[in-house]
Chains A and B, each alone.
Chain A
Amino acid sequence: MAADPADPLCQAGGVTSDTLRPPHRSWRLLGLVALGGAIGTGVRAALAAAFPAVDGISWTVFAINVVGALCLGVLLGRLALRGPDEGRRRTVRLFVGTGVLGGFTTYSTLADDTARLLDVGRWGAGSGYALLSVVAGLLAAALGAWLAGRAGSTRTRTADPR
């Protein structure tokens, strides 16, 4: 750990240090994720305010989470098909995936809403909402990955004869 070449304090910044430094310690990438996260959070907050929870259950947050999981599945699947996680692909993954979609979706609201439902004795509604969210999120992420693979193979096939 001594004289860590990736230590931001040892570097002046720029392209060279950015490739050496672990991504999560690069100010440029932290800023990129923050910007994406702000955009995703803003859209989620606006949607949640426009379509508030009904009877303690926010179907808006449910839809946001499932759509976000689907989009992240597609994004990661497409990026993985295009090549290793570096350079522009990594930048896109961090901005759109970690930033925008990470900020758009939320786990804490799901946990908090569920805890609130259980707290007032609505065990069926609470556990049902939470389980449905998690299962729908998994199916959406898997569907996204499948769609990404399918789109990838179609493109390769149509591109081949030329």
Chain B
Amino acid sequence: MTPLALLLVSLGGGVGAALRFWLDGAVKARTARTAAAWFPLGTLVINVTGSLVLGVVTGLGEAGTLGPSAVAVLGTGMMGGYTTFSTASTETVQLFRSGRTGAAVLNGLGMLVVSVGAAALGLTLGRNT
């Protein structure tokens, strides 16, 4: 990876991270006064949508519609920075600790299953576009 490519991928990651911070804050503001305020919905939405978009991006790359640099900047960079594994893990642990075991299992396993499904859908869409 050339220094310029790494810089562009990093910039993509910065944009993705800011987008995640903004969207999570917006979701939290929306759900703040509802009965669902305790559930970390923002990260779930972010990781599922990010997996879908990464699937589309890598699918487009496989089909030759997108070049390798664009796939790296949009995929590894932007979607990698947008989605997060660390926050998903700490939020699930938080659910376990607050005694919401069902929600914790749902957040841990449900997010995985739906994200993999979204990525598979994205791959199919990207490959056939």
Contact = CB atoms under 8 A, between A and B. Distances in A.
Interface of A: 22-25, 29-31, 33-42, 44-46, 48-49, 65, 68-69, 71-73, 76, 94, 97-99, 101-112, 114-116, 118-119, 126, 130-131, 133-134, 137-138, 140-142, 144-145
Interface of B: 1, 6-7, 9-18, 20-22, 24-26, 28-29, 47, 50-51, 53-55, 58, 72, 75-77, 79-90, 92-93, 96, 108-109, 111-112, 115-120, 122-123
Nearest to B118: A111
A107 B115 contact: yes
B93 A105 contact: no
A44 B120 contact: no
Most buried by B among A41, A94, A140: A41
B21 A94 contact: yes
Contacts of B18: 30-31, 33-34, 37
Contact of A42 (B9, B24, B55): B9
